[in-house]
Structure 1
Amino acid sequence: MARFLTLFALACALTCPVAAQAERVRDLGAFQGVRSNQLTGYGVVVGLDGTGDDSLAYVTEAMRGVSGRVGVQLPAGVNPSLKNAAAVMVTADLPPFAKPGQRIDVTVSAIGKAKSLRGGSLILSPLYGADGQIYAMAQGNLAVGGLGISGADGSKLTVNVPTVGRIADGASVERSVPTGFESGDTLRWNLFAADFLTAARVRDAVNARFPNAAQVEDGVTLALRLPLDPNARASMMAAIEMLDVTPAETPARVVVNSRTGTVVINSAVRLSPAAISHGKLTVRIDENPQVIQPAPFSRGQTAQQEDSKLSAEEGGRTVALFRPGASLAKVVDALNLLGTSPSDLVAILEALKQAGALKAEMVVI
């Protein structure tokens, strides 16, 4: 309890209101189209030491297709035991401006009953984009950080995740993705988080360096007029990304993690006049039954006599009063004075929100 309050007070002290600091434009947003693209594909990993999918149907069909590409036809109706092969999904991120011939990393994950991919090799597999086109081809030996072993009596030992591996530079780019960088005289820039004031400040900073080059379209997007020459355009984009802009103060927000009990309050949180009284009523019931024996030579029977003791204790009668516009530091001091636990803190904040005294958005994750 005391440890939680100390850590909570320290976290709040670090987030007390301070003067906003300027940030680079590249840390506030990104140019539209200049982003990575997700690729995915289906493949087969071979060379496993008996830890594969065995005779899983889709592994067998995949192996028929693989063997057919290299000129080997498996007999019809024969389902080979494939303990040394596993069906996998292959995923990768295609960086912006990636050109054919460049190499990218791939992640390989088992989708069947394979126990481990350690020591396996991925057979040549195409990687598709969201449009169904092939953008890369993957192949190579897997690096697996996990380990899984089992004994004859059914006991198992697993370290990390042995069914997921990675191939560094395991895919060759075969097709580039258009970004819009080289076409048109207008390129859009998007904020990571929507905010009209921040967008206006970025516009003013760009126009101060390049007059009439930027125009706000909405709370996220700025339209930038850029020269058509690629060299001049790249130089202008680089200069815009390095401009310093002071972003708008973040909205007042309280984030509650219901699973761990973590509560984070940012520096913009303010309180209207409010009083908080937080106490706990503890009721205790002690049962002490006694056995009553009948007198000798009597006709009585042994019986049980109930003996109950009830007590009630009420603690935490302290009342905390908040003045108008109370800051985060005042909130923390008052809640520490009340001796609140994580669950109590959440209940108090929710009650303040319902009473209209907490001027912040409550986010429960």
Structure 2
Amino acid sequence: MTTTHTHKRRVPLWDNARWIAITLMVIGHAILKLIAEADAAYTLYLFIYAFHVPVFVAVSGYFAKSGPPDARQMHRLLTDIILPYVIFETIWTGVRWLLSGKLVPEKLVPDYSTASWTLWFLLALLVWRIALPYLVLLRYPLLISIMISIGAGYLPNIDGTFTLARALGLLPFFVFGWKLRQWLLTDTWLELRAGIIWRWRAGAIGLFALIYLIIALNIETLRDLQVRRFLLYNEAYGVFDYSEFWAGGIRLAVMLLAFVLIVAFLMLVPRRTTWFTDLGAATMYIYLLHTFVLYPLRETGVLDGPQPGWVLPGMIVLSVAISIALSLPVVRRVFRPIVEPRARWLFRSTAATPTDTIVVPSRDNR
């Protein structure tokens, strides 16, 4: 009964957005090995990365709580973020150790300060959720988060340690998602008539087509300018030879474009229930598990060097299939203990006072 009630409260728009965004992420990871040799793959890669990570971060921010955290929220930080991170970082350590072919004890020691592959998102999400209640106390949280993001890019000591560079770099999109809820834009959008909706959608389609065309026509220039490095938000500008004072302006331009594309993307997402709406509730399973499926393709050298023309569309189809497969109920049942660990054994059965003394009910209150 509880599950049914919760399901009715879910808005299809957001589950649809989650699943499409995470599928685009799988595609981006799947075609990474192709971008060095194929301009078509690199064009698609830059197009996807111009908005899909910002969308995913903004959706997370939309549902974030901005008030002081209560016991339930603190509990969820542990079970939804910290424990899965520790579990999967440990698993990746074991995978690398096994594939190294050498019984080197040092390789079996996890480095929890450096996130493996996609696990950076969990650490960044932890930072964003902790920071949001403090940011919203300020008068202009979105503007301040943008300044933090741009400023962080000038500091080379802010790097991948505990994924701090990405956490600060992508912070504006998390705050932007939270602001979307404050502005009630989604409620207004869901109430618009179909005729008006399609006018906006036509504009969004035109914008995405224009962005794709611009990227395709200037792909060699964009490759030379290392625009991809700006889209990842994980390095200081000077690391990839942008030591000039105006380098932050490029991040700002990329960020402002991403804000527009986030809104355009949400306009194109179906508002009603679709065949993939229910799959949108399993995005964390896709996110954490798809890397194990793609890892052999990326590391065995199968995709190295020039590839036949059918490989790019083939990888896109494979990515969609992976996203669907990892959303299935059977996958969620099997992997729930490591993706969504409840860890009841970890928590106290009774509450504690601020002085850490256990509250024992009096006989009169029993």
TM-score, length of structure 2 as denominator length = 0.21
Rg comparison, structure with higher value: 1
Task: Name the structure where helix makes up a greater proportion of residues.
Answer: 2
Task: Name the structure where strand makes up a greater proportion of residues.
Answer: 1
TM-score, length of structure 1 as denominator length = 0.21
